[in-house]
Structure 1
């Protein structure tokens, strides 16, 4: 049985905060993890949790070798949860209010070089409905830089082939239009014309989501990541490549070729330009490498 405070918090996230279902899933998982910790520690209810308990929970997280980013996310989630419960007068204090968030490791996003991308695109099998679908997913992600979760939310009516744009439903219910490049446009049209109906009607399913699985149901983010991971493994021996690098590559290649950062921010759907600026560090690093390798007196 779900905790009633958690159910109220989820309702608050859905109605007042307009959070996406993926954000709500993460919040629910993190809070349930804390509820399990409470049970293991013999803590009876949320009202009696103290600062010491919050610190002990963080210690347990570190013992699991979680990244600083994951620990910070879980801490922030529980801080928000208790802040909500204080507003609703469910609890008197927020035990996570004074818990400091761990400083996140400053990791530069890894991107794929053009040679790696060419190998990936050339490895595609376009002779089957699933192959055409996978090709469309790959081309679309690289052409637009959208998140995997955003890719799964695209519906048929969101695509305007005449204008060459797609309506993207981003984080926090923020919609934006993404331009559809020529390669992606051709791949998506081929998939819709030759593959989608085959997959869609195989199980007599009726929905308007663009990408479907072999059962005809809408593809999930987990399904897309599984597909992309398989494509990457078949195309390259580099085990460090992962699906999110398509988004990193999109941003990096645009900046390397002269796009201004505000445009890239808009295309990525970043609410803050600081989120986009990390890609300028990547491009500066790339420029330095090219300079050192090319200049006679570098």
Structure 2
């Protein structure tokens, strides 16, 4: 941050505190925000030839913004990553403009570069079942096999993120009829636990050689510490190779599959949004690879005037 003026550095720090305390931003989000905005402020310093105080930052022009975007792309940054950086800068500028009383139109009016959004690729239902079944044979240690099956069953059966599944502790066992999950940004949701997931976790707990402690992770690594996401990713990668499934068959694909299979079975899109913990329905739409005709079907069935 040596290229950034003390006033700008202080403003960035205050903004991050604001995002953490009032917006509930996750630590990963805050880390990305800090890096993206700091890089932008450093560029402006070099571009202008001097450190930029808050008054100078209020005078940033559309041309300045385009110069930053061009320089960032020239460094090999992909359009998707640049769009994320621009989003962070805009969020910072909205806050700064309100705090300092200036008009941020020059920053907010800049359009993000276009890029092809990659839609998630859920597994077919029979492939998801086969993947879970095949996990049992990826290790010669029975309790480890039961553990991997339990974790992946939670991803598919309850729509948990892998971090949420691995964040469960001994106090959550035996699994109740529903789990209270704290997801991204501290957003809380209640997730029903299907019997197959509860049974899989029970099987693992009966076989696990480590004692169940309320404040320790529910899922353990082979040495007794917290299970890492990499161990589950490795087990799934091995299973998908045996089944001839594509590289897109990942732990997160099981969460995608949960949503898609619920929708295919007649589930309500809004209810699925709540189960996944999405703030935006458009995110849920992408997860489930919903096309316009399917959305209209849901609309026509649910709208009171339909």
Same fold flag (TM > 0.5): yes
Q: Determine if contact 2:170/2:218 at 8 Å carries over to the other structure.
A: yes
- Does the alignment pair 1:151 with 2:165? yes
Report if aligned partners of 1:109, 1:282 keep a CA contact under 8 Å in 2. Answer: no
Residue of 78, 94, 106 corresponding to 1:66: 78
Contact 1:166 / 1:178 at 8 angstroms: preserved in 2? yes
Aligned equivalent of 1:242: 250
Residue segments in structure 1 that go unaligned for 5+ positions in a row: 286-298
What's 2:130 paired with?
Answer: 119
Normalization by structure 2: what TM-score? Answer: 0.73
Q: Which of 275, 278, 299 matches 1:270?
A: 278
**Does residue 1:18 correspond to 2:24, yes or no?**
yes
TM-score, scaled to structure 1: 0.75
Partner Cα separation in structure 1 for residue 115 and residue 32 of structure 2: 19
Of the three residues 197, 200, 205, the one matched with 1:184 is 197
Q: In 1, Cα distance between the equivalents of 2:241 and 2:102? A: 52
Question: Root-mean-square deviation (CA), in Å?
Answer: 3.5
> Within 2, Cα distance between the matches of 1:31 and 1:224?
34
Cα distance in structure 2, aligned partners of 1:237 and 1:120 = 9
* 1-structure distance, mates of 2:292, 2:199: 29
Judge conservation of contact 2:147–2:204 (CA < 8 Å) in 1: yes
Aligned residue pair count: 277
Which moved further from structure 2: 256-265 or 226-235? 226-235
**Against the structure 1 CA distance between its residues 160 and 195, is the aligned structure 2 distance closer, same or farther, given a 3 Å change threshold?**
closer
Q: Which residue is 2:210 aligned to?
A: 197
Alignment of 1:220-231 (within 5 A): 225=233, 228-229=236-237, 231=239
What is the distance in 1 between the residues matched to 2:113 and 2:89?
A: 14
Q: CA, structure 1 residues 16+225, in 2 after alignment: closer, same or farther (shift >3 Å)?
A: farther
Q: Which residue of 2 aligns with 1:44?
A: 51
Kindly state the Cα deviation for residue 27 of structure 1 after the two structures are TM-superposed: 1.9
